[in-house]
Chain A
């Protein structure tokens, strides 16, 4: 008898939870759960009008999110601005003491560039360095254990394609993984899913740099067994995937406990504007 009453109570509470709408609720929980499942199942459609609608909706959310986050961003930027200023001040004091001999370095750089052009012409090699880069603003800077990505304000309207390389200054930071009409999502090189083919100079060893979630170091995979890679060697994109341009510096080799890592040149905490490759 009491068991039956308990069961009745359970049925009554379940009905009241799922179907009843209280005074300020416009939808019942059951309706919304069903709608969520339908929306989730629409992820199956990767093309067509549903995809266009999704892309426009994402653009709207990203832009709104950017506008709302502006006051918070300005606070964050002010904090980093002050700490940068202090760093620059200290650095400037030290640089005044050291004689860098910049004029000599400039001439050497100029000579190497000209020599490189001459040798490229000799072997009929095309120019590695493309100028097809859009300077874009970062709308959202998202960090989670599942995804390290940024959202930029250029999309397929600006000829951005999936797989395009993204740089911060001269340094490689990631590649485009999702393109909407006006915005795109960039997967950063330190994300767990990121795998970038690289070449390690000066001995030209090929390898893959994969992210491990750290902002500072990335893992190096598929190094040859008898590798001659040493601390301080520079890691560049190799362009072996045929999408990302070659020769973009990523970082330098750092050995910690006999394991080789890439210490990234880019500072992922201070990304504000990035350059994204486009092809018409």
Chain B
């Protein structure tokens, strides 16, 4: 591989978390599921932001998280700034857990994630219903958060794999 192509590849790999987050918000990939009478949304962006804020905040800048939130609001037609606030709150919780804990494992992360999304969901719900008077079906919100919580381990494994690739690429760069 030429030096230029190698550099592009390396840059893409290290920016992968940011690229995934922006693809999710720009394309509106936070999946809406309708099953019988249940209607809920799986929020992939919550998983991405929490994981990378907790594990490797250097791969996902806070400024970019803020910007992703603004785009998400425009695409989803929500009051501009609400998603940014939610995403940054999630980053705060992720950073807090990173600072206070010594042991990292999936179960610990998973439970922390559940608490984090409940806090962010509550803040979003309170702001949207009380200030902006947007009718939100409470059951849909809770169901969506619960399903997002359930699928966290799958993404945990995928992101750990991505992180390893990034690490290998960074080591290659240092050794060169």
Seen from chain A, the residues whose Cβ lies within 8 Å of a Cβ on chain B are 9, 13-14, 16-18, 22-29, 32-33, 35-43, 54, 57-58, 61-62, 64-65, 68-69, 72, 140, 142-147, 149, 178, 185, 192-193, 213-215
Chain B contacts of A37 at CB under 8 A?
A: 81, 85
Other than the given A13-B100, A32-B66, A40-B85, 7 more pairs (CB < 8 A) read: A39-B80, A40-B127, A42-B80, A61-B71, A145-B40, A145-B41, A145-B137
> Which of A16, A29, A61, A65 meets B99, CB within 8 Å?
A16
Nearest A residue to B93 via CB reads A17
Q: Which of B66, B95, B140 contacts A36 (CB 8 A)?
A: B66
Quick one: CB contact mask for B84-109 with A, threshold 8 Å, 1 for yes? 11001101100110011000000000
Closest 3 CB pairs of A and B: A40-B81, A39-B81, A13-B99
Pick the contact of A149 from B58, B77, B100, B136 — CB < 8 Å? B77
A145 and B92 alpha carbons, distance in the complex (Å)? 27
Q: How far is A145 from B135 in the complex, measured between Cα atoms in Å?
A: 10
Task: List residues of chain A with CB within 8 A of the CB of B91.
Answer: 29
Bound together, the chains give a CA A58 to CA B96 distance in angstroms of 33
What distance in Å separates the Cβ of B51 from its nearest Cβ neighbour in chain A?
Answer: 17
Residues of A within 8 A of B61 (CB): 24-26
User: In the complex the two chains form, what is the Cα distance from A215 to B33 in whole Å?
Assistant: 12
Give the complex CA separation of A149 and B76 in angstroms. 9
* Interface size bracket, B side: 35 or more
The answer to whether A58 touches B26, judged by C-beta atoms less than 8 angstroms apart, is no
* In the complex, residue of chain A having the shortest beta-carbon distance to the beta carbon of B74: A61
Contacts of A142 in B (CB 8 A): 28, 75-77
Main secondary structure of the interface of A (DSSP, over half): helix
Nearest neighbor of A60 in chain B, beta-carbon distance:
B74
Any chain A CB within 8 A of the CB of B32? yes
Q: Evaluate contact between A29 and B92: CB separation under 8 angstroms.
A: yes
Tell whether, in the assembled complex, residue A64 and residue B62 are in contact, meaning their CB atoms are under 8 Å apart.
Answer: no
Contacting residues, chain A, for B12 (C-beta < 8 A): none
Q: Is B170 part of the binding interface, using a Cβ–Cβ cutoff of 8 Å? A: no
B95 engages A29 (CB within 8 Å): yes
Q: Of residues A42, A54, A65, which shows the largest number of chain B Cβ atoms within 10 Å of its Cβ?
A: A65
Instruction: Judge if B134 is at the interface, Cβ distance under 8 Å.
Output: yes
With contacts A58-B74, A65-B75, A145-B39 taken as known, whether A40 is within 8 angstroms of B27 at the C-beta atoms is no
A-B contact pairs, 23 of them (CB 8 A): A13-B96, A16-B99, A23-B58, A27-B62, A32-B88, A33-B88, A33-B89, A36-B84, A36-B85, A40-B81, A42-B80, A61-B71, A64-B26, A65-B75, A68-B26, A68-B27, A72-B27, A144-B28, A145-B40, A145-B137, A146-B76, A146-B135, A146-B136
A146 to B82, CA, bound (A): 14
Q: Is the CB of B74 within 8 A of A62?
A: yes
- Asked if B4 is an interface residue, CB under 8 A from chain A, the answer is no
> Is B153 an interface residue when CB atoms closer than 8 A count as contact?
no
> Do B80 and A140 touch across chains, with their CB atoms under 8 A apart?
no
Task: Report whether A144 and B80 are in contact in the complex, using a CB–CB cutoff of 8 Å.
Answer: no
In the complex, the chain A residue whose C-beta lies closest to that of B38 is A145
Contact in complex: A27, B63 (CB < 8 Å)? yes
Q: Among B40, B99, B127, B134, which residue has the most Cβ atoms of chain A within 10 A?
A: B99
Which of A43, A68, A146 has the most C-beta atoms of chain B within 10 angstroms of its own C-beta?
A146
Instruction: Name, among A17, A33, A36, A147, the residue most crowded by chain B CB atoms within 10 Å (CB to CB).
Output: A36
> How far is B71's CA from A144's CA once the two chains are assembled, in angstroms?
15
Please, how many angstroms separate the alpha-carbon atoms of A147 and B74 in the complex? 12
